[in-house]
Amino acid sequence: MSFDRHKDLLDRLGATGSLLCAIHCALTPLLLAAVPALGLGLWFDRSLELALVVFVTLLGASSLGWSYRRHRSLRALGLLVPGLAALWAGLVYAPLHESALPHAVVMTLGGTLVGVAHLLNLRLNHGHVHDASCAH
């Protein structure tokens, strides 16, 4: 597998993971009543949420960082950075983390921004033309 295809796979994985994270965060308040009946305790586990945010951060930073060197566009990073900031704020800022609806909103927004950043990054990478203006 070529390096470019590997980076595309990372962006696809990042977009999918981030959007799944956003869905998880959006559905969390709706499932609160169903947790005892359905045995969904893992869905609300803080360590799962921390693992997802760390994974999304590492994947997003590495994938979009590599790609920035190729396409030199800040648009994808301009979505990634506020998305990650929202995810981390929802995770570590107690007033957000301890309130179900604000937590769900900020985490859903963050996950969506990160997912869209990965999709935009894919588009920027595929729109790149190798010519004399390339920086690599």
H or E element at residue 4: helix 3-31
pLDDT at residue 36 greater than cutoff 60: no
Helices (H) and strands (E) in the chain, counts: 6, 0
| Res 81 pLDDT > 90 | yes
DSSP symbol at 34: G
Query: What pLDDT, on the 0 to 100 scale, is given for residue 40?
Result: 53
Q: Taking a C-beta distance cutoff of 8 angstroms, is the pair 24, 43 a contact?
A: yes
- Residue 69 CB-density burial (10 A; 0-12 exposed, 13-18 middle, 19+ buried): exposed
- Percentage of residues of the chain with pLDDT beyond 90: 17
